[in-house]
Amino acid sequence: MKKKGRGRTSRQRRRKSFRTSELSKESENHKQEFIELRKWLKKRKFEDHNLRPTRFSNTGRGLMAVKSLQPGELIISLPKECLLTTDTVIRSYLGDYITKWMPPISPLLALCAFLISEKHAGNKSPWKPYLDVLPKAYTCLVCLEPEVVRLLPRPLQMKAEEQRMQVQKLFISSRGFFSSLQSLFTEDVKHVFHYHAFLWAWCTINTRTVYMKHAQKQCLSAEPDVYALAPYLDLLNHSPRVWVEAAFNEETCCYEIRTTSHCKKFEELFICYGPHDNHRLLLEYGFVASNNPHSAVYIAIDSLVDHLPSVDKQMNKKISLLKEHGFSENLTFGWDGPSWKLLTALKLLCLGPEEFTCWKKVLLGEVISDTNEQKSLVLSRQICSYFIEETKTALHKGVILETSARSEVSAA
């Protein structure tokens, strides 16, 4: 009996599949910036034989496994000498300035200042091989134009605006410290430590550092010092469906990552940044994950009220109770429908005048009446349908904006 998959047609399918697979990725190992980075890392006692810098069609730049990797296998071990931390900054030419400055600056600001200064130094910077492979720009929401951010769901818009204000506030409050560094530069520090440079440095730290706890330094503020920029290792992309063991090994003095799952040869190797939904990923890292099991749609409490009768005289009191007891934020729809928190908020908002005295029981999860249960479920379906349509409209506007931008570039 003839075995399946052994004929000419099967071979043609396999060849086609192989060609498609090969077209979906392109090695960047030969590019000059990665050649220089490997030389730089080798001087700092790091060599890698498991991974290769590669550009993938679906995830962009990442690391490809050049051999099969088994669960528990050490996939990367980056020596402490390669890591950029506040220890690096304090040991540098910025150390004396940071130590003398009062009140102490934060670990985050120290790293930002160092990145900006080193990038400005260009070819003179000992960190140039690493800086050359860092993104020139980021897609975090704090970097996007206001008209683009306005296309996002309202809760995400609010978080993006809050983050933007925090970054701007940090920049403005740091101008005094930046001015104290004038003697290090021949040009005005305002032209070195400008907002665009600061935003780039902030995004680099926010999107690319690994967690590494450091002892508190007297010359820095009491804010958590948990950042470490990890050259080469930070090329690993995120997947919500994998898990790894990652930590600094005090015995080997290396930051190590071990895979907990199998990775096939010539496939992209992923790590997991955490169980983040797409709102968090887009806000903090500037991307979303397809088929994310942690995906959730956030609903602002104002949106709930918009779908309720305006004649409810107890509405203001209901909203006040929800805010007072922590039921006004993180109201979500997930893969399995409305969250318990969202349904509970809807049940309280749907209470009739004769049921209102039972609001405490609602927050404790008790069933008040069949009518209340039904009303809240119907309302949740209406709200879900509304946001599906709103999303379609926003996506359509996004396509129009993108088409318009491309037209302007072509005309220029």
Q: Does 100 share its domain with 198?
A: yes
Q: Determine how many CB atoms are found less than 10 A away from the CB of residue 229.
A: 23
Q: Does 93 share its domain with 224?
A: yes
Q: Does 101 share its domain with 219?
A: yes
Global pTM reads 0.84
Q: Does 92 share its domain with 199?
A: yes
Q: Does 88 share its domain with 221?
A: yes
Q: Does 122 share its domain with 217?
A: yes
DSSP H helices in 190-249 = 195-208
Q: Determine how many CB atoms are found less than 10 A away from the CB of residue 65.
A: 19
Residues in the chain: 412
SS3 category, 360? helix
**Which of 173, 198, 229 represents a domain boundary (last residue)?**
229
- pLDDT, position 20: 42
CA gap 347, 378 in Å, rounded = 11
**Which of 229, 262, 283 represents a domain boundary (last residue)?**
229
DSSP H helices in 30-184 = 32-43, 86-91, 95-100, 107-121, 128-131, 146-149, 154-173, 175-179
* Any domain includes 250: no
What is the span of the domain harbouring residue 203? 84-229
Q: Does 88 share its domain with 224?
A: yes
Q: Does 220 share its domain with 306?
A: no
Q: Does 223 share its domain with 301?
A: no
- pLDDT, position 393: 87
**Which of 205, 229, 253 represents a domain boundary (last residue)?**
229
* Any domain includes 125: yes
Q: Does 310 share its domain with 198?
A: no
Match 């399946």 to its residue by tokens: 4
Burial class of residue 117 (count of CB atoms within 10 Å of its CB; 0-12, 13-18, 19+): buried
Asked if residue 227 lies in contact with residue 86, where contact means CB atoms within 8 angstroms, the answer is yes
- pLDDT, position 45: 95
* Any domain includes 344: yes
Q: 137: domain CATH number?
A: 3.90.1410.10
* Any domain includes 79: no
- pLDDT, position 153: 85
pLDDT in tens for each of the 412 residues of the chain? 444 455 555 555 554 444 444 448 999 999 999 999 999 999 999 999 899 999 999 899 999 999 999 999 999 999 999 999 999 999 999 999 999 999 999 999 999 999 999 999 999 999 999 999 999 999 999 999 999 999 888 889 999 999 999 999 999 999 999 999 999 999 999 999 999 999 999 999 999 999 999 999 999 999 999 999 999 999 999 999 998 999 999 999 999 999 998 899 999 999 999 999 999 999 999 999 988 999 999 998 988 988 888 788 899 999 999 999 999 999 999 999 999 999 999 999 999 999 999 999 999 999 999 999 999 999 999 999 998 898 888 888 877 777 776 666 556 5
* Any domain includes 127: yes
Q: Does 215 share its domain with 344?
A: no
* Any domain includes 65: no
* Any domain includes 133: yes
The total of structural domains in the chain comes to 2
84 token code pair: 């950029």
* Any domain includes 97: yes
Q: Does 104 share its domain with 220?
A: yes
